[in-house]
Amino acid sequence: MTPAARLAATIALLAEIETSPRPADQVASFYFKGRRYIGAKDRRAVAESVWRVLRRRARLDWWLGTIGHADRSARALVLADLAIESGKPKAEMFEGVHAAAPPNPDERRMIDLMTGKSLFHRDMPTWVRSEYPAWMEPRLSALFGDGLNREMGAMRDEAPLDLRVNTLKATREDARSALAAEGVVAEPTALSPIGLRLAARVPLVQFAAWRDGLVEVQDEGSQLVALLVDPQPGMAVADYCAGAGGKTLALAARMENKGRLVACDVAEWRVDRAQDRLRRAGVHNVTRRVLSGESDKWIKRSAKSFDRVLVDAPCTGTGTWRRNPDAKWHLTEADLAELVERQRAILASAARLVKPGGRLVYATCSVMREENEEQVEAFLAAHPDFAPLPAPELWPQAVGGACPVAGPWLRLSPFRHGTDGFFAAVLSRRDG
């Protein structure tokens, strides 16, 4: 593709993302699948340009308002970003069969005013500078205090690509060597003993280490949550909100394929989607189960029969904004309130599965207190037969090394730990 065609594709893809209710990565995947003529390098270049705009959305919007440019369309955002990033575009950027239309007079004025502007300005509100919805300011300020700018700044930036080593097939050094043999540089993660962090993003599906099931894409924080479940070989374990199976795979590896692992979800398509991943990883102790909801009869029949129950609850995903920068602008206060109620029902339902002496692990990829500490505190108040197990006490056996938090809960953030934002609480059901 020519630079002009790439620019046009960037505008077109961002426009589709702006108008679609689906996540940006799904929209991009569908967009490129429908345009097989776009080569791998061009796809990567277009995607990088789109995601750069998504990460700067609030700041670009602020600048457009400041200079008096009313248009906030995808085209306006891309042209504004281009002016800041590279300066005033040359005429040939709008020439050719697949090129975008040349700038009109209003756009030329906007480009002139935006050229040379900085992405940061002293007059920008904190929520603009750190790229999060204004309605979240009081909650995030209360959560992070003086560290708000640092924490949200780290969440604004692009995430690294982390891999979990599948210990059913390889050690960390084996996997690292296999990747190195294919030219992929990977370093051990700082906290997870089964993680690797890539120096640069690569199309992982093209490499044998992934195709042979030696590694899976999984953020280091997610790996730590799965390790904290501490499932032992021979145990009965339930992954209550298994989704596409990322943590299910990690639990199965920790169990050495021994014991019973049930992957539950309310969406049959998500449960089915995990099958290829299970097969590639060499996992064979997993039973998949589609639940009709929190009142599914299987839950009643299986009451108090599991040693470990992981509830990776549906949440706002605020901890994953490094990877999904578009998601923040779709999130509303009503969404948060609805999710909190749903989490409460899911947690109470899943708790029925835990046997006396067993453990319930509640986790989210959110930083919001309503979804995390407050949710756990409310559960414990309503369920006196459960008690917290502090993360630092479990860490030496479950993970190894020094625990990165003082406890009792595992709360991870991009700034402090270099992971996505995660929360996990381990609760034990009293005997008797």
Mind telling me the catalytic residues?
365
Contact indicator for 210, 248 with CB cutoff of 8 Å: no
| Helix-helix angle 74-86:3-19, to 10 degrees | 130
| Helix-helix angle 105-114:57-66, to 10 degrees | 110
Residue 208 backbone dihedrals phi, psi, to 5 degrees: -60, -35
Phi-psi region of 36 (alpha: psi -120 to 50; beta: other; left: phi over 0): alpha
Element (H, E) at 241: none
Cis? peptide before 396, omega within 30° of 0? no
Handedness of CA 195, 199, 205, 206 (dihedral sign): negative
Cα separation, 283 vs 166, in Å, equals 10
28, 4, 26, 34: which is closest to 14 by C-alpha?
28
With H, G, I as helix, E, B as strand and everything else as coil, classify residue 376: helix
Cα separation, 104 vs 108, in Å, equals 6
Phi-psi region of 255 (alpha: psi -120 to 50; beta: other; left: phi over 0): alpha
Residue 381 backbone dihedrals phi, psi, to 5 degrees: -65, -30
Please state the separation of Cα 327 from the chain's center in Å: 10
Name residue, tokens 């345009």.
35
Contact indicator for 423, 320 with CB cutoff of 8 Å: no
Phi-psi region of 56 (alpha: psi -120 to 50; beta: other; left: phi over 0): alpha
